[in-house]
């Protein structure tokens, strides 16, 4: 039998909408395999640098725990007071399912989706959102230069920007930034290809006056305009499949007439599954956090018509094929 009224109903407290949310997805099982041996420490470094470098007045964090080992709770408990939401699955659903189940309900206009093996540098938020501010049609921005992904779901960028002379090809990304990326991924062939495009020697960039962004972004860690995930209801029926993120996540920017970009300088490091010298000697001192007023200058573009998106993509394909010989 009910007696009285719920006192919570009379408090009239307001929810606060922040401009940015970070989704951290991870799976760390109970395993003696060498691959997972240091993943507790990797997750610790990821959460340590993430919580130290964001502004909690502008950014919320969601942890997506894909049925990891209970021992990981010791790491999470260190940062739980800074975590807005902690999702725990009772089985490993796979990254795509876990991410889509969260990102499609995000209220914040921007959302960063990141793996749990990323080291966040001071000022990464400001660098990412400066790129959004400079390029209103940016739909995805990675906090590290990714020139080898220039043509990956990015036809829109090469149309009118080529005609306007905003696409440049030359040596823009410093060798030390290339080396840092390769050290984390341990995949030298991504950059140093013996083809027309050796991405160490030259990169394709987009310029707006004095600001330069690298053309290309990736789903390991990127910030998205959340609008891309609105009205998307496709269901990932497989838990694990190579390139599954291409269809459900990576293709959305292009489908919405938006561009995929990355920062010219390194603002995050891909740790992988081993703690290396970069992580050990990183400066964790919190500074250069983004100001709440910084988001006021970011233009939120109105949704483009399908005809405009089609024309942009068609022009881009033409220039990629005949100008960039891709």
Instruction: Copy the structure tokens of residue 319.
Output: 């220039």
Instruction: Copy the structure tokens of residue 76.
Output: 């999470």
Each residue of 149-182: pLDDT tens digit? 999 999 999 988 998 999 999 999 999 999 999 8
Instruction: Copy the structure tokens of residue 161.
Output: 């920007």
Map residue 122 onto helix, strand or coil.
coil
pLDDT at 3: 76
Each residue of 125-145: pLDDT tens digit? 999 999 999 999 999 999 999
Each residue of 49-77: pLDDT tens digit? 999 999 999 999 999 999 999 999 999 99
Q: Is the pLDDT of residue 302 over 70?
A: no
Q: How far apart are CA 276 and CA 273, in angstroms?
A: 9
Closest CA to 50 of 111, 114, 98: 114
Sheet strand arrangement including 138-142? 85-88, 59-65, 20-26, 110-115, 221-225, 138-142, 259-262, 211-215, 203-208, 167-170
pTM of the model: 0.93
242 Cβ partners below 8 Å, 6+ apart?
A: none
Question: In terms of pLDDT, which residue wins out, 74 or 306?
Answer: 74
Place of tokens 């230069």: 145
Domains of the chain: 17-150+216-299 (3.90.550.10)
The residues facing 261 across adjacent strands are 141, 215
């Amino acid at each position: 039998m009910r007696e009285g009224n719920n006192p919570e109903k009379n408090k009239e407290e307001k929810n606060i909408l922040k401009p940015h949310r970070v989704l951290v997805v991870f799976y760390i099982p109970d395993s003696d395999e060498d691959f997972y041996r240091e993943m507790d420490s990797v997750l610790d470094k990821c959460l340590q640098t993430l919580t130290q470098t964001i502004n909690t007045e502008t950014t919320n964090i969601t942890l997506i725990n894909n049925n990891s080992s209970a021992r990981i709770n010791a790491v999470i408990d260190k940062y739980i007071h800074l975590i807005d939401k902690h999702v725990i699955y009772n089985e490993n659903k796979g990254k795509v399912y876990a991410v889509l189940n969260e990102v499609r309900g995000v209220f914040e206009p921007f959302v960063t989706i990141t793996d749990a093996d990323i080291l966040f540098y001071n000022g990464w938020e400001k660098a990412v959102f400066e790129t959004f501010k400079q390029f209103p049609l940016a739909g995805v921005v990675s906090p590290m230069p990714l020139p080898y992904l220039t043509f990956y779901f990015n036809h829109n960028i090469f149309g009118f920007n080529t005609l306007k002379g905003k696409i440049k090809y030359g040596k823009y990304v410093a060798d030390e930034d290339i080396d840092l990326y390769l050290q984390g991924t341990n995949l030298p062939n991504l950059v140093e290809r013996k083809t027309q495009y050796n991405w160490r020697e030259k990169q394709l960039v987009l310029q707006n006056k004095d600001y330069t962004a690298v053309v290309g972004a990736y789903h390991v860690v990127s910030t998205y305009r959340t609008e891309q995930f609105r009205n998307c209801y496709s269901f990932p029926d497989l838990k694990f499949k190579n390139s599954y993120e291409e269809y459900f996540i990576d293709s959305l920017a292009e489908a919405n007439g938006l561009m995929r970009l990355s920062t010219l300088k390194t603002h995050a490091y891909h740790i992988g599954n081993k703690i290396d010298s970069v992580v050990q000697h990183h400066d964790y001192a919190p500074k250069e956090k983004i100001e709440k007023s910084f988001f006021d200058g970011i233009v939120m573009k109105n949704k483009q018509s399908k005809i405009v998106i089609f024309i942009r993509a068609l022009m881009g394909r033409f220039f990629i094929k005949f100008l960039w010989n891709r």
